[in-house]
Structures are given as C-alpha cells and as structure tokens.
Amino acid sequence: MSLFRFLGFLSLMYSAVQLFDNDIFLIYNEDSKYCMQAQSSSSVITAPCDQNAISQKVRWVFVHQIMSLTFTLGLAVPSKKEQVEVFLYPCNKTSQLQQWEYRNETLLTIHGEDLFFSSVSRTKENIMLHKGSGVKSKWKIHGTSDGLCSWGYDGKV
C-alpha cells in the first residue's frame, strides 16, 4: 500500500471515530425544536436538527469552550454585550469572549455574565447573547433529556 493510500485510510478511520465519539453532540432548543448550526465562521444560526449534519456537531474543549466540528473553530462573541451575534473563531483558552458556562443544566452563558446563548425567535436566525433566560435560551443535547453540562470537557481536543 502506498503512503498516500495509507494516510487516506488513517484519515478516514479518524473521521469515523469522530462521528461515533460520545463527546460530540448537537445543541438543541426545545422551544423552537431547532439546533444550533455553524453556517459559516461568521454565522451561527438555528436550523432544523439533522443528526448527520457536521455543521451542527459540536464538542466541549478546554473546559469552557465549545468547538464546531465543521470549521474546528470555537463559539465566540465580539464583546460581552446584549444582542451581539455568536460567531466562530480559532480556539483560545484564555479569551474571555470564548468561555462559556452552564447554569441550571439548560442555560449557556458567556463566562461571568448574565448574557445567555439565545435563539431569540422561532425562525431561522443568528444566535446571539440575550439577557433573558426564558425558553429561547434553554438548550439541551439533541436526542436526549441531558443538559449541556452533562457532556462536559473530557480532556480530549
């Protein structure tokens, strides 16, 4: 087997392992029945859930960071202010603008603030920070009754 074929085989095996990794999940809002989707590095939206869509798959990294598998970039905000849109940025474990924490199992906030990861409306729209902790700010792991904190960082990147 040539080196090129062998490397292709290894890449395929790595991808297969990632698809079945227990730490990979979809962020789901029960109110809207939509999941978070990384549409581009500058657009994180809600969309109908699709367990097979890599654009909806995420995992916890560096304890307080969530990484999109599509772009291997972390969820971030440009500032800690209400109504700023969530986007994707290269993971930086020291950036306060990429550190997320969970509250009451279903609420996701930017670290140290009462600004919640929110879908704001029931229609396909960018996800943003919002002061309200109502139903549009409550998220679970798609296909489970588990809150986001139940599948926390496991030390793998």
141: helix, strand or coil = strand
Question: Tokens in use for 134?
Answer: 């109502």
**Mean pLDDT of the region 65-91:** 96
Q: What is the pLDDT of residue 148?
A: 78
Dihedral of CA atoms 126, 94, 147, 84 in degrees, nearest 10, equals -20
Q: How much of the chain is helix, strand and coil, in % rounded to 5?
A: 15, 35, 50
Q: What is the pLDDT of residue 129?
A: 95
pTM of the entire predicted model = 0.80
Q: Are 28 and 58 in contact (CB under 8 A)?
A: no
**How far, in Å, CA of 118 to CA of 132, rounded?**
8
**Mean pLDDT of the region 135-156:** 77
DSSP assignment of 9-30 equals HHHHHHHHHHHT-TT-EEEEET
Residue 133 amino acid letter: S
| More confident: 150 or 54 | 54
**How far, in Å, CA of 3 to CA of 14, rounded?**
16
Q: Where are the domains of the chain?
A: 23-151
Q: What is the pLDDT of residues 48-59, one digit of tens each?
A: 999 999 999 999
Class of domain 23-151: mainly beta
**Mean pLDDT of the region 131-155:** 81
